[in-house]
Amino acid sequence: MRLKNVIGAVDEFSLSSRIFHTMCLVLSIAGFFSSLLNIFIHLPLVAVLLAVFITIFPCILLYISRYKRKGRLARSLFLLSAYFVTSGLWFFNAGVNGTVHFILLSIIVYQLIIAFRNSYFWFFVNISIYLILTAVSIYLPQITIYEYDSLTSKHLDFVFTYIIVAASLFFITRIFREAYLNEKKMVAQKASELELLNKELQQKNEQLSRVNQTKAKLFSVISHDLKNAIGGITNLSSIMIEYKDRYTKEKTNEFVQLINSSAKNTGDMLVNLLAWAKLQMDSMAVQPEKCDILHWVQLNLVIFQLSILQKNQTVNVAIHEGTFVWADNNMVDSIIRNILSNAIKFTPVNGIIYIYSSLSDDKKFVLLTIEDTGVGMTEEELANLQNDGTIFSKNGTADEKGTGLGFVLSKEFALINKGAITVSSQLGKGSIFTVQLPVA
């Protein structure tokens, strides 16, 4: 049986309880050998019986404390019996000339550990008993029943007592040392965990701050642009209703196109806004599947066909059939639509847009690139676009309006699908957006 099983586990018993159990075990073993020694050096029968008591009684106390969980009772009985037995040994083991001095000194150490709350009381008891026993030996020497019959017996008794006291102090110190190292290790572990939690908390706070800033700016932009868009539709429709007989068919068609364009932009704005809101509330389910990149590019080119024709732009597509990614189809559609919309928006009349794909060096990602020959961006504008906490927006080459939400949404969609979006741009030369998504 392992020693830890006898004295108790660290997470089951306190340090003082485990030391008390160790003391009981050591004293019981010491009592057994002391019985044999007392017989060998011809001590009186009473001394032998006291040694037998020391062998048995600590085992009883260990059982009461370890298994019955009555530690306070066991400790009190231990201290009372310790002083009773020590006092008896004083008179049956040479008095002031014997080894009881060592035992009384060791008891001070024991009681400081196992009865710390009442340590002053038991210290006073210890000193008082020693003084009383010494005084009795001085003034009533005849009470001391036994003196050593030889120098060898005395030396054996001193050596054995020293070994017992030293062994008990050794085990107590060892337990303290182990407890100190365990506590130190636990403190270091807790400190490491706390530091990690603080870093995570700081990151969460920074992320929350960026999200709050994004939300504040977003709703400010949305409220302004949405109000203007709806106001424009309302004003144009009101004019058409009020002065419908004054305008030519061509003018009326112009108004209708303006209303249609404004309504379309407002609709796109609301679609992005709702998608972004779902992301922020973690309520948008991601359903990754095999996704055909060429299909979504061609579909969005059909959607933007009118805008491309109005600006007489050329779109060159170089995507092989069978180029698949593993991602959510709706999110891929949104990413391509938003980036393609920006490319059309910032590419001037007669400009060129290139759409092509390739594989990453490790063949694990598809790289979809949308490159335009538009106005490009300054370094500051590019930094603002790539900043997670910034919504960047400016008008297109035909004064097209926007909120800047589309790219923010696209970045988040790419990240959710274990991908990324990188951007490079030169003012006056155009921009290159590369979408990286896992190969299917």
For residue 397, the domain's CATH number is 3.30.565.10
Q: Is the dihedral of CA 388, 391, 396, 402 positive or negative?
A: positive
Whole-angstrom CA distances from 229 to 237, 260, 270, 274, 285 are 12, 11, 11, 17, 30
DSSP alpha helix (H) spans, 243-292 = 249-280
Residue 2 counted as domain residue:
no
For residues 416-422, average pLDDT: 92
According to the model, what pLDDT value does residue 371 have?
Answer: 95
Q: How many domains does the chain have?
A: 2
Conformational region of residue 322, where left means phi above 0, alpha means psi within -120 to 50, and beta covers everything else: left
* Selected residue with higher pLDDT from 324 and 49: 324
The Cα–Cα gap between 263 and 78 comes to 91
pLDDT at 139 over 90: no
Residue 207 counted as domain residue:
no
How many other CB atoms are there within 10 angstroms of residue 231's CB atom? 11
Residue 22 counted as domain residue:
yes
Residue 171 counted as domain residue:
no
Tokens 């310790």 correspond to what residue? 82
Average pLDDT of every residue of the chain:
80
pLDDT tens track for 284-302: 567 899 999 999 999 888 8
The model's confidence at residue 392, banded by pLDDT at 50, 70 and 90, is low
Tokens 């550990």 correspond to what residue? 113
Coil/strand/helix, residue 278: helix
Task: Please write down the long-range contacts of 240-246, taking CB distance under 8 Å and 24 or more positions apart.
Answer: none
DSSP alpha helix (H) spans, 98-150 = 100-114, 119-139
* Selected residue with higher pLDDT from 156 and 224: 156
Residue 41 counted as domain residue:
yes
Instruction: Write out the residue range of the structural domain in which residue 342 sits.
Output: 285-438
Structure tokens at 55: 């062998």
- CA angle, corner 363, sides to 362 and 369, nearest 5? 105
Beta bridge partners of 356: 318, 369
Domain boundary among 132, 149, 166: 149
The model's confidence at residue 389, banded by pLDDT at 50, 70 and 90, is very low
Note the residue count of the chain.
440
Which of the residue ranges 163-177, 225-239, 275-289 has the most confident prediction, judged by mean pLDDT?
A: 163-177
Residue 121 counted as domain residue:
yes
Beta bridge partners of 435: 368, 421
- pTM for this entry: 0.46
Coil/strand/helix, residue 68: coil
Task: Please write down the long-range contacts of 3-11, taking CB distance under 8 Å and 24 or more positions apart.
Answer: 6/62, 6/66, 7/66, 7/175, 8/66, 10/179, 10/182
Structure tokens at 277: 């809101």
Coil/strand/helix, residue 324: strand
What's the number of CA atoms in the CB half-sphere (13 Å) around residue 239?
14
User: Where does residue 291 rank: exposed (0-12), middle (13-18), buried (19+ CB within 10 A)?
Assistant: buried
The Cα–Cα gap between 336 and 413 comes to 11
Residue 406 counted as domain residue:
yes
CB 350 within 8 A of CB 401: no
Structure tokens at 47: 């001394």
Lowest mean pLDDT among 6-20, 125-139, 218-232, 346-360: 218-232
Residue 202 counted as domain residue:
no
The Cα–Cα gap between 271 and 265 comes to 10
Domain boundary among 108, 124, 149: 149
* Selected residue with higher pLDDT from 432 and 3: 432
Structure tokens at 342: 């920006």
pLDDT at 4 over 70: no
According to the model, what pLDDT value does residue 146 have?
Answer: 60
For residues 375-399, average pLDDT: 73
Domain boundary among 149, 176, 209: 149
pLDDT at 224 over 60: no
The Cα–Cα gap between 257 and 310 comes to 12
The model's confidence at residue 14, banded by pLDDT at 50, 70 and 90, is confident
Whole-angstrom CA distances from 296 to 354, 357, 363, 421 are 15, 13, 22, 17
Tokens 């996704």 correspond to what residue? 291
